[in-house]
Structure 1
Amino acid sequence: MQANPRTIPFLFGSQLRYVVPMFQRKYVWQESPQWQTLWEDITEKALLRLEGKEQRPHYLGALIIEGVKPESPQEVKRFLVIDGQQRMTTLQLLLCAFRDYARQQEWRAIEKPLTRFVENPDREVMEKPDEEFYKVWPTTINREVFCSVMTAGSRAEVEKREPLQYLPRKRKPEPRSALVEAYLYFSKQIQAWIESTATSSGKESSACAFALLQCLQEDFCVVEIALSDGDDSQEIFYSLNSQGSPLSQSDLLRSLIFMRAEKEKQNRDEIFNDYWSRFETPFWSYESTRGGRTFSRLDLGLRFFLIAKTGAAVDARRVNEEYRRWVQGEPSKYATVREELSDFAKHSQVYEYYTLPTNTALPSTDFRRVITDLDVSTALPLIMFLEAEAGLDAAQKIVCLAALESYIVRRYFTGEENKEYNKLFADLVYHLRGKSGDEVMSALNHRLLAGAGTTRVWPSNDEMIDAAINRNVYHNLSRPGLRLLLERVELRLRTKKSEETDIALNLQIEHILPQQWSTHWPLEGKQVPNLMAMYPHTANDEFQPLQDAIRRRNAALQTIGNLTLLNQYLNPAASNGGIDLKLDEYRNSVLRLNRYFADMANWDEAAIAKRSQSIGEALCAIWPRPESMAVPASPSPPAQMSP
């Protein structure tokens, strides 16, 4: 390994090119802080040159490169960029913007050296002229836009080739490529600086531009670290970026995979196009926050894939480290990188199918609604295993997913803990691996029924009905989850003679006995003041005997038997009204949930309890649970991979 300071003419002045390997992430630098800071440093040095002041070189950071043996005598000398691709790409965009402005002003003495810094001459004798023409050759995801910008020739042409896009009914344009924005930023800054400096200093614009060129040529350096044959580029990249780095877990894993492809001498572009390109999309880059940390869907998908393959819980912060340990361990997991990516692509299709974009409309019978509305994405590793490698036919898969859905919904409804779901579902994967078909179905039911305590029990019918009668579901269940339960009850109440009417998206959860009940709903013949209805302990002597009855009513009105679904246009009129008004409104509803009240003359705590039991029984039928099943002995699962 050799380290040397290199100026821009040394880096870009010769016939050579820097290839950004597939394991690198796409270009991500932005105006603040990267472009702005770089430009401020450049103009500070340029002004000192105009003033004739002596100065020291400014170091832009390190560039780690690895020479590549040419494949033919015609090939332009090639270096792999192990670290520093963001810096190198930015310099190319800046130099290109400066070159285009100099060309526009017809400053040939400035244009010619800048052209030498961004283009390799003699295209006609190159092995691959469409690639070797460029001094920097970025990753596949950036190439098309990079080439478009570098060959446009002017700011106006760049804006024409890469226009802003506006979606219907959107005031702000869609985000444009950072490569385009970097070029436009430097183009505008270069022109503005030259014009303002010429005005303030009284010098010719060309003299100011020449000072800027001299500054770039002589006053800025990088520390070039050239790797030798014995240096491990993969380990160097990992050590540089694994600690305290903005690189995500999926960025680091991509580096691992494509570095191994380099060593296997596989066609990296082909592998990228066949497998990895599908992950360079807005869906997979979408970020969400979990436990105070931000992860992309690709980060989570890779983590869930590793859990599905190992049956061990994986710390979200250590996915790269654990994946490296697993894939490089004994026995060998994959013969080639292509085989590895093919397996991940198969599992990722399951992850993508079950990960719904926001506001996606699905029927409540779709298991994806359960995953989304009950917020149990921690079950996805188990689902990925069942779908992708458990050897289940269509009927067996339905049985397994139905059992899992029942387990999740019943625990949700009865209020069991879900804080250890990541360990639970990893443990299930561990005990199912090595089985297939009917063995998986049997073992899954055995493991689910074997659970005990608040963290793993599969609630019984009695526990479900007890929760229906007594649990405050309105405050303890999420609105999407509670609405899902009521939708499923509605579907169960329908008969073959019922119209096939979709359940509308604008239905709202409605209290039959309203939360503000004191005005229109007497208790034991008395009109209870609102404050006392809300806070029974404030009851005066007159209402003291009703304290327990008030508490029972307040508890009953939050149970599922007192809840229904109602059109949003009916809801305001019926919300806090009396029983007669409520029943009139319910007669306008086509839902079977509300037909229940067609012959109802009175609605009180006893009626609520009766309907709660009926709904509880319906939930048990919708999500059945085997009442008993012998549980065979099983080996203990592995410890969690990381603390």
Structure 2
Amino acid sequence: MQANTYELKKILMPERRYVIPTFQRDYEWTEEGQWRLLFDDLTVVTERLSDAREQALAAGKPVAKADASVTPHFLGAVVCDQLPSAAGGLDVRAVIDGQQRLTTLQLLVRGVLDVLIELDSKRVHQVRNLIENPEWMIHEDHDRHKLWPRRKDRDVWPIAMADTAPTGGDHLYLKARRFFANSTRTLADDGGDTVNALVDALLDLFKLVVIDLEDNDDAQVIFEVLNGRQTPLTAADLVKNLLFLRGEFADEQELEKLYDLYWSQFDEDWWKQTVGVGHAARGRRDVLLSSWLTAVTGDEANVGHLYKEVRSYLDRTERSTTDVLRELHRYALAYRAITGHGDPVPPALARPYRRIDDLRIQTAVPVLLWLRTIPEAELPAPDHERAVLAMESWIFRRLVVGANTRGYAKFFVTVLRQGRSAHERGEPIAEAIIATLAAGSGQTAWPSDADIQTSFANNRYYGWFSQERLRFILGTIDDRLRQENPHAEPGDFDYQRLQIEHLLPQRWQDHWAVEAKGPAEIELAQQRRGAYVDRIGNLTLVTGSFNASLSNSSWETKRKAIADQSVLQLNRPISSIDGWTEAQIDSRASELAEIVCRVWPKTNETPTS
């Protein structure tokens, strides 16, 4: 990255063309918002320069030294990306950030030039060089302009910058030019050398920080730092500009049609909504882009450096904008499907999609999207379901035993690569994915039935797992029991709205005295019971109708209250148990573990949900 502060003449006088990417936002600066303030700043600098010169002349001192003493005015920063250009041709740069500022400066110069032409000033040629390239560098009409706006505004820009000033027009370009010309005329009425001082102030005392990106720079990070991470510009915005700018320079046709057909959907609010929490929170379209890039490259994409990585990928593959947009469209449809916001999918897939999305397992998304974009002739529906259900089993078996999620991103990239390799060889994709999941070990092991039984029998769940995840596990068990019981009352429960209840109360001492003799035995029995309180076999779900004051009551009283929760299949067996002891907790833990193993079987046969 090269970042330097330049006078305006050093930025605009070289033979160069600054290109605004086609689908950047509209030009939005206005008289009340920015134009008047900008010209006021120019007026102040002009007055400071005039005063310094007058004082120098009065004191018999060199004017040049006086000019150097005047404090310049800084206009902020623009970020530019070097674009390919023909040898001996114009230097071409894309304006990644700062299009409003740079466009307004061009219109300001045009307004000043109007007045200079009217006054037949000798400065006309010098100022014209700020907005037009020399004739010998012009090979096409647009080469004339130092700044070339986005495609939508390219018909009006030559009119706004021509010597023949339009007398009307509501476009902001035309209004800005008229405003700056009128403001310059008013200042010129002061007479003397005011106009010359204004031109000199504009050329030498208006300064910009220009950041020129190099091949290894990351525009996304630079932009965020410059804007204090408070700007709405996202990685998706930068990638959009990159894609369509590349399409323009490759002379691809009908880019506007491609935009409407494939990209305009990403301007909808749904795609801009944030998913994930904490440092992992990103807009949906950024998640889509990173998942797409991971899927097509087989390497983990970094959302925080997405622009740089997409640019590197496009440079390596030289894919057309049309091809990439069509592929992104397919991945967008797949993303909507797996998040439950697209076309209906078979129930066998809808359930695991919903579960994975509910728990925000973003690292699995690239594999799920890739699978959905494979034609059914190459991935039959039963094999597709087997692959997804195996992934669900791997994820949620690890969840219920409390396994660490660190390393998931890399592991799912490995799963993706193995699936891609099998696909390229014409081998069964589902078999490759299931085999890779089964081959995981240590931090990526696929827990066995025995692992789940052991965890449910011995581990603390309440206080160790989040309330959300406990409700998810218990709710999934109840949902499974409802599916297996043909007599279950129909209903669709929002398990996250239910309460977690300890069957053996957390304050059990009042009504649940241990049976032991002697102080030592009593203490051991109390310690043993205390260890059982937060195990999963002692936990259940209750609705809002459950009387919380009964939580610490005797088992007989509490059992009757829980019997009223019989609408939940999870509680039906409990209501018929005469006593609730550590043995009952162990037995129930084993039963719950068996149900979990049925929900998420570890098998090479087709799992059922």
- Bin the TM-score by the shorter chain: 0.5 to 0.7
Q: CA deviation at 1:408?
A: 0.8
The answer to whether the 8 A contact 2:258-2:322 is kept is: yes
By how many angstroms is 1:348 displaced? 2.6
> How far is the alpha carbon of 1:22 from its aligned partner?
2.7
Partner of 1:581: 557
Residue 440 of structure 2: aligned partner: 451
Cα deviations by residue, 1:180-234 (Å, 9 ceiling, x for unpaired): xxxxxxx9xx9xxx9xxxxxxxxxxx999999x98998744567999xxxxxx99
Letter in 1 for 2:249: K
SS in 1 for 2:354: helix
CA contact (8 A) 2:499 2:543 kept: yes
1:546 — aligned with what? 522
Matched, 1:253 2:231: no
Equivalent residue number for residue 94 of structure 2: 82
SS of structure 2 residue aligned to 1:509: strand
Is the deviation greater in 461-470 or in 268-277? Answer: 268-277
1:87–1:612 distance in 2 versus 1, CA, 3 Å: same
Matched, 1:133 2:111: no
- C-alpha distance in 2 between matches for 1:364 and 1:546: 52
Residue 338 of structure 2: which of 354, 375, 384 is its match?
Answer: 354
Provide the identity percentage.
Answer: 25
Please identify, of 55-64 and 508-517, the stretch whose mean Cα deviation from structure 2 is larger: 55-64
1:481 paired with 2:469, answer yes
Contact 1:89 1:136 in 2 (8 A): no
Q: Distance in 2 between matches of 1:364 and 1:517?
A: 43
CA RMSD of the aligned region, Å? 5.0
1:597 aligned residue (574, 585, 590): 574
3-state SS of 2:94 partner: strand
Q: CA deviation at 1:261?
A: 0.5
The 1:207/1:321 distance shift into structure 2, 3 A limit, reads closer
Are the aligned partners of 1:50 and 1:208 in contact in 2 as well (CA < 8 Å)? Answer: no
Matched, 1:556 2:527: no
SS in structure 2 at match of 1:475: coil
Matched, 1:399 2:386: yes
Question: What is the deviation of 1:624?
Answer: 0.9
Q: What secondary structure sits across from 2:529 in the alignment?
A: helix
1:431 lines up with 2:446 in the alignment: no
Counterpart residue number, 2:369: 384
* Contact 1:66–1:80 (CA under 8 A) maintained in structure 2: yes
Query: Which string of whole-angstrom CA distances, capped at 9 and with x for unpartnered residues, describes residues 586-640 of structure 1?
Result: 22221111111222221111111111111110111111112899xxxxxxxxxxx
Instruction: State the AA in 2 paired with 1:466.
Output: T
Q: Distance in 2 between matches of 1:94 and 1:476?
A: 61
Maintained 8 Å contact 2:78/2:208 = yes
- 1:304 paired residue among 282, 291, 297: 291
1:499 aligned residue = 489
Is contact 1:286–1:297 with CA below 8 Å preserved after alignment?
yes
Residues 1:241 and 2:228 are matched in the alignment: no
Residue 89 of structure 1 deviates from its aligned partner by 5.5
Structure 1 residue 385: Cα displacement = 1.6
CA distance in 2, matches of 1:5, 1:93: 12
Matched ranges for 1:53-132 at <5 A: 53-54=51-52, 58-60=73-75, 82-83=94-95, 86-88=98-100, 92=104, 132=155
Amino acid at match of 2:374: E
How far apart are 1:305 and its partner, in Å?
A: 1.3
TM-score, normalised relative to structure 2: 0.67
- Aligned-pair CA distance for 1:420: 0.6
Letter in 1 for 2:22: M
Assess, with a 3 A threshold, how the Cα gap between structure 1 residues 27 and 424 changes in structure 2: closer, same or farther: farther
Contact 2:272 2:285 in 1 (8 A): yes
Query: Is the partner of 2:574 in helix, strand or coil?
Result: coil
What is the CA–CA distance in structure 2 between the aligned matches of 1:86 and 1:345, rounded to whole Å?
29
- Indicate the residue corresponding to 2:148 in structure 1: none
Unaligned runs of 5+ in 2: 53-69, 112-150, 161-168, 225-232, 342-346
- Structure 1: which 5+ runs fail to align? 12-16, 70-77, 100-127, 138-146, 155-186, 195-205, 227-232, 527-541, 630-643
Does structure 1 residue 567 correspond to structure 2 residue 540? no
Contact 2:293–2:310 under 8 Å retained in 1? yes
For residue 463 of structure 2, give the secondary structure of its aligned residue in structure 1.
Answer: helix
- Give the match for residue 367 of structure 1: 352
Aligned to 1:163: none
Q: Is the 8 A contact 1:88 1:136 kept in 2?
A: no
| SS of residue matched to 1:564 | strand
Q: 1:433 to 1:581 in 2, by over 3 A?
A: same
Whether the 8 Å CA contact 2:220–2:304 is kept in 1: the answer is no
SS at match of 2:446: coil
Letter in 2 for 1:351: Y
Shift of 1:59: 4.8
Q: How does 1:163-202 map to 2 (within 5 A)?
A: none
Q: Aligned partners of 1:421 and 1:136: how far apart in 2? A: 56
Match status 1:342 vs 2:329: no
Residues 401-446 of structure 1: CA deviation (Å, up to 9, x unaligned): 1111111111111122220110100001111114348711211221
Give, as a single letter, the amino acid of the residue that structure 2 aligns with 1:22: T
Q: Secondary structure at the match of 2:98?
A: helix
* Structure 1 residues 507-566: Cα deviation after superposition (integer angstroms, max 9, x where no partner): 22221112222223222279xxxxxxxxxxxxxxx7543333223222222122111111
For the Cα contact (< 8 Å) 2:18–2:95, is it kept in 1? Answer: no
Shift of 1:63: 8.5
Matched, 1:285 2:272: yes
- Does the Cα contact within 8 Å between 1:65 and 1:225 map onto a contact in 2? no
- CA distance in structure 1 between the partners assigned to 2:152 and 2:326 by the alignment: 32
Amino acid at match of 2:572: R
Offset at residue 91 of structure 1 (A): 6.5
